Structure 1
């Protein structure tokens, strides 16, 4: 009992320290953003006259309204399409077990080891040859392809655990593979699909590298990608830069607070199914 209490106490202390380390940078950003524009704040000193208008100034200077629209269009182009393709591929590999499914799955697993930095140069020339540079399609199409390995791995982990009796019963009732997919397996896979949707939304919203390299117009990038141009223009104004960073983080933080339980399930589900 004494060992159990000691372990519980140490666990709580560790969680508190981890929480402080996580929240401290956000608190520092928030406090710095409230200092007068053009100053160089030090530490976590609260300003004598908080400048809440810094957020409005950063919102206008970074064209946040247009960036919100651009990021929303990119998310709407990436997430639904990648979810559809990953779910169909995961069903074919994990449930239908088509011929050669092991080799196909192995290729997707190998795709998980491919870093963005390793393909950014040939990807740039390919997008240029297709005439898609400086357009949102230059972000949407590569992200759909780059999300496929993890998406297929995730959905295959769900479908491979589904009992084969479900498909057999549907076949007896006269359902073909397409009807089994849409009417039976997709409704049962909604927890896995919604969890994957949250993760892909976060990855798309925070996409920085592809947006910087493939799109020259900051107003057509994601919010995270446009922050680079904002930093180049206002990099010496630390309070405005911190205010702009918080505005970029705000949608993700709101989404996390709303779907906190679903987000936790998204992180745990992949480790529970395999």
Structure 2
């Protein structure tokens, strides 16, 4: 565990130390800067226009996460508890989406969304990511619902609860840690999405933070302190969200690991 922790923390420490150097400084190794300063963060913030980039990324994830969670819960509930013709075949077809790489879907998505006039807008990213996240979300929630005791559903049926009440009053509260974990994964994947943002959004004013960082790297490829500061600005929201919800994330990942 210590070795894995060092493997993760050492690159992060290198980023922080590099970002504390004045802009244009030649950085080599993990050394405390001679003249540490936070001015590099301000220069990176204004130079890349991170105020707008972070706002655009926030709009995307605030649209993707709730909608994706709703679709995942509804699909998982249907596949886990309802009997209908072709359920197994439909679920298997849905799982084929887990084998589909983003790279294979980018070009068709671009032409489809362009035909509807949705490119260069956050809605393009929201719709594309909700669709791409759907297979994993349905699989995840189906497993969570199947792991619950069948007696819960039987007791709710005896009390006269309909399907809607069973879902929102019985199953969802029992799987809240798993739903929180799925929401955190959606946030992480949506925030870090680079290729879709690069292709679907050509307008610089509508770019997300990772896409803006890519263009910023091209413009400051030899200015290591500026690049390190910009990278830390982009990953800061993900780190903060994880630190706030890490207990729920861990409990959701371990849910169902121990039976009894």
Question: Could you tell me the TM-score, scaled by structure 2's length?
Answer: 0.93
Deviations 1:49-107 (A, max 9, x none): 11211011111112222222211111111010010011000000012233322112212
Contact 1:219 1:226 in 2 (8 A): no
Question: 1:196 aligned to 2:166?
Answer: no
Deviations 1:126-151 (A, max 9, x none): 11111111111111101000000100
Question: 1:81 aligned to 2:67?
Answer: yes
CA distance in 1, matches of 2:12, 2:69: 31
| Number of residue pairs matched by the alignment | 259
Q: Determine the structure 2 residue equivalent to 1:7.
A: none
CA distance in 1, matches of 2:85, 2:96: 19
Question: 1:114 aligned to 2:69?
Answer: no
Question: Deviation at 1:272?
Answer: 6.7
Deviations 1:176-201 (A, max 9, x none): 21222222222222122111111111
Question: Deviation at 1:165?
Answer: 2.8
**Secondary structure of 2:99 counterpart:** coil
Unpaired runs of 5+ in structure 2? none
Q: Determine the structure 2 residue equivalent to 1:17.
A: 3
**Secondary structure of 2:130 counterpart:** helix
**Secondary structure of 1:131 counterpart:** coil
CA distance in 1, matches of 2:240, 2:43: 21
Question: Deviation at 1:27?
Answer: 1.1
Question: Could you tell me the TM-score, scaled by structure 1's length?
Answer: 0.88
Contact 1:120 1:210 in 2 (8 A): yes
Q: Determine the structure 2 residue equivalent to 1:172.
A: 158
Q: Determine the structure 2 residue equivalent to 1:211.
A: 197
Task: Select 1:105's aligned residue among 85, 91, 98.
Answer: 91
Deviations 1:172-228 (A, max 9, x none): 332221222222222222122111111111111111111111101244233222211
- 146 and 49 in structure 1: CA distance in 2 versus 1, 3 angstrom threshold: same
Unpaired runs of 5+ in structure 1? 1-14
- 95 and 106 in structure 1: CA distance in 2 versus 1, 3 angstrom threshold: same
Q: Determine the structure 2 residue equivalent to 1:4.
A: none
Q: Determine the structure 2 residue equivalent to 1:66.
A: 52
